[in-house]
A and B are shown apart, each in its own frame.
Chain A
Amino acid sequence: MFSDKTLTQARQGLKNWFATIKEAKSDDVSVDKRLSTISDLEVKPIYTPEDIKDLDFASDIGYPGEYPFTRGCQPTMYRGKIWTFRMFSGLGSGEDTNKRWRHLLSEGETGLSTAFDFPTLMGYDSDSPRARGEVGKCGVAIDTLVDFEILTKDIPLDKVTTSMTINPPASVMWAMYLAVAEKQGVSWDKIGGTIQNDMLKEFIAQKTLMCPPEPSIRLISDTIEFGTKYVPRWNTISISGYHIREAGATAVQELAFTLADGIAYVQDVIDRKRLDVDAFAPRLSFFFDSHMDLFEEIAKFRAARRMWAKIMRNRFKAKNPRSWWLRFHTQTAGCSLTHQQPYNNIVRTTSEALAAVLGGTQSLHTNSFDEEFCLPSEFAATIALRTQQIIAEETGVINTIDPLAGSYFVEALTNQIEQEAWEYIEKIDKMGGMLAAIEKGFPQREVANAAYHFKQQVDNGEKTVVGVNKYQAKEEPPIEILKINEKIEADQIKRLREVKQARDNRKVTQVLNGLRAACKSDKNVMPYVIEAVKAYATEQEICDVYREVFGEYRDPGYF
C-alpha cells in the first residue's frame, strides 16, 4: 500500500523518534513500559505505514458492501440507514414490559428486544418449584400465549421488528410470536425479528441450559429451516459473542469462538437439512459485546466482518454475496459497569456505544447506569437510549463510512485480532469442531482463565477501574432503583391456573404427543410447537417434552 520511499522514511523516522524520547529522560510513562488493551493485547506507542505495509487496499480494506466487507456490510451503511436503537428490555409481567416497551418506542427506539425472566429462559413455568423467587425478577415472565398476547398488545408486528433473547426454549417463544402475528392478521412474510437461539455459546458462557448439545443443535437447525421456508425476514439465530466476552473472554476469544460456533451451525444445517448454504446464510445474524477498549473493539468488529466473509465464500463456497455478510447487533459491556459511583457507568456506556458505531453495528443496545443494582429504571433506560441518539445526531461520526479505515493503528490491530482469531479457529477445527471442543471443555477453560487473569490484573492495580481500584469514593449516596412488584409471582401463578382451567386439556395432551413423536423423528418440530402454543400449552409443558426425549444437560462446573 505504500511506496518504498514512504516505508524507508517511516522506518528511519521511527528510529529518530525513539532516540529523541530516550534522550529526553522524561519522568512520564516510559515508552518501554508494556501497555495493552483490556484483553492484554500489547499496544505500541506509535504506529506507522510499516505496520500495515503488507495490506492491500482493494482486497483488505476496499469498500462497504463489497467483499470482504471490512468497512461494512451495506454499501451505504449509516448514510443509508442509521443502526437500529434496540433496547433490551423486560420486567415483571407482560403488562409491565408492554408499558416499558411503549415508553421506549415513544422515546425514539426503533426496534424491540425482549428480556425474559429466568424461569422463562430455562423453560420453567412460574408455578414450578424451580421458579420460586425468580418470577419476573430479571425479565418478563411468559408461561403461555396469554402472557405473550399481553406483552405484544397494541404493538404492530408488521411495523416493528423484535429481537428475543431466548435459547433452549427459542422455538417456543418464536412460535408464540408467530401465533400472535397471525392473530393480528399479519402474514409471516411481513414480520421481522431475531431469536437468539444459539446454544453453543450457552454451553460456553451464558449457561441457560436444558438439553445436551446434539439435540440442541437439531432444534436450532429446525428453526433455521422453518424460517427459510416460511418467515423470510426473520433472523433465526443470533450467533453470539457477547456472553462469551461477559464471562471473561478476551476480544480475540470472543471473536474466534463466535465464528467457530457459526461454522458449526452452518455445517449442521447443510448436513442435517441438506439445504444449499445460500438458502439460509443471508439470515444468519451475530451479536457482539462492545467493551471499554475503544480501538480494540472497532478492530474486532472489522476483523469479524472480514473473517466471516472469507469463511462463507472460501470454506462454505457460498455464492450469494448476502451470504458473506456479517450483520450484527451489539450490546455495551455489562461486565464493565461498576457498583461503585454508578453514574460513571453512563460514561462507560457512551464510550462503548461509540466503539460499536465506529465498528459498523447494525443494531445497538446501551446499558443503563443502575444495572449493577437491579433492572434498569425508566429514567436510566431513557438516558441509555439518548446516548445512542446523541451519538447519531450530534457527534458527526455517522457522516462518513468506516472513518477509521487506513489508520495505521486500527488496521494493524484489525490484522492482529484476525490473525489470532484464525489460530483459535484452526485449533478448534483440529479438535473436531466446536461441539467437540465444548465437550473437551476447551472454550470454557480459556474463558475461565481469561476471567481470572483479568481479576488479578485489577486486584493488583495493573488494570484500573475508576471508582473500584482508583478514585474510590469515601461515601456513596444511595441511588433510586427499580422495584419489581412482589406480587408478580402470585399473579402469574393465578393466571397460569386460570389458563389451564379454561383451555381444552385434551387438545393439549394431543398436541404434546404430536410434538413428542416429531422430536423422536427427524421431522421439523416447529409446526408442532406452533400448534401447542395455540392450544395454550405452557412453555414448561413443551420444554418438558424436549427434556424427556432429549435428556437434560448438567453444567460440568469448570472453574
Chain B
Amino acid sequence: MFVDFFFELRKEGVPVALNEWMTLMEGLEKDLAGSSLTGFYYLARAVLVKREAHYDRFDVAFARCFKDVETTPEMVEEALAVFKNLELTYREPPGYTRREKAELPEDYLKELAKHKITFLQRSRSEEETEARPSRPFGMGAKQPGAIRMGGDSMGLSALKVAGERQFKDYRDDLITGVRQFEMALRKLRQLSSRLEGPREELDLEETIDATANNAGMLSLVWDRPRKNTIKLILLLDSVGSMDRHIQTVSKLFTAAHRTTHFKEIKYYYFHNCIYEHIYKTHVLNDANRLPTDEFFRLHNSEYRLIVVGDASMSEPELTRPGGAVAMNEFNKEPGLIWLKRLARHFPYSVWLNPVPKVHWGKEPGHTTVPLIEKVFPMFELNPAGLEQAVNRIRLKNLN
C-alpha cells in the first residue's frame, strides 16, 4: 500500500526521490507518525513535499490512496458494539512486535476488564466534555494492550485535511510570482571591463608580483570589481485588451523595478501596436507622447528591448496605413513596418506575450500573433518564458 502511495505521488507530479522515501521509512521506524493516519499524513508531507505548490497534489494522491483506510463513525459504533459484548478471552493483540508482546502484563485479562470499564465510563463522559486527559484508549495510549482507536490527535482527520485541499491556491500552475521573474531577470547580465569604480578587490597575482619586486616587503594591489553593463528598455502595451493581463504584467514590472543590477532600465508604453508615437507614462495622452523617431535617437542599439503585449488586434491595425485604433494617432505607414523598424533598431530584442501560447494564432482575437512572431522572437509571459527570453536576448536578431 505504501509503495502504491509512492507511485501515486509521482503520478500526481510530486517529485519524490528514493532517498526522501527512505527518510520517511526512518521516520515511521522512529514512530514519528504516532501510528495514526493523521500522523502519517503530516510526517509524509513534511518529508516528501518540498514546495507549497505541491501540497495540493500531495493531498489529491493521499486521498486517492488512503480513502478506504479511514475509520468512519459507523465503524467506531460497530467496534464499540462488539466491544461491549466482548467475551474476555485472551486473544493475541495484533500489530505488536514480539518484544512488546512479551511485555504484556500477566494479568492481561484483568487489565482488559479494567480498561473496558474505564472505556465505557470515558466514552460516556467524553460525550459531555471536550477535554480529554491521558487515557488508556485511543491515540494517546502507549502501553501494550491498550486499544488504539484511530487517530485524530491533531483535531482534523488526515483524509479530511487532504480532502479539503486548502493548498489548492498555491499550485504553481496558478501562481507566477514576482520573485520568479526577478530570478529570470537576474540572469540578464554582461560584465563590464574594469575601467570605472573604486578599487576594492584584492588582486592576488599582481600582489605577489609587486611584493616580489619590492624585495619581499608586502605590497598590496587592489582592482575594481566588474559590473553589469546591460541597459534595458521595457516597452509595455498598456490599455484595452491588456487590462485582463494587468496582474501578470505588473508582477514583471515590479520585478524589473526591484532588480538593481542593470546599469539602466527604462519604461515606455504603447497601445496595441507601435506607430509614429510611443508614450512616456501609462497614461496615453498627448502630453506624454514621444515621437518614435526621437525614441530611436535617444537609445542606441546597445539597449536590450523587451516588448510586452498581447499582440492581439484586428489585422488592419498592423497592415494598413491609418489602422491605428487610438483616436489621436493617424499612422501614414502600417504598424508592421514600424515593428520591423523597431526590431532592426534594437537587434537584441524579444516580445513577451501574456496570452498562453496555445491560443496564439488560433483563437479569434489572437490571429495577429503569428505576424508579429515573424518580427520578434516571442515568448509567453511567465517565469519559464521569461527565462527563455532572457537567454534569447543575448543573441542578435537577424532581420
Decide if A and B are genuine partners: no
* Residues in chain A within 8 A of chain B (CB atoms): none
* Residues in chain B within 8 A of chain A (CB atoms): none
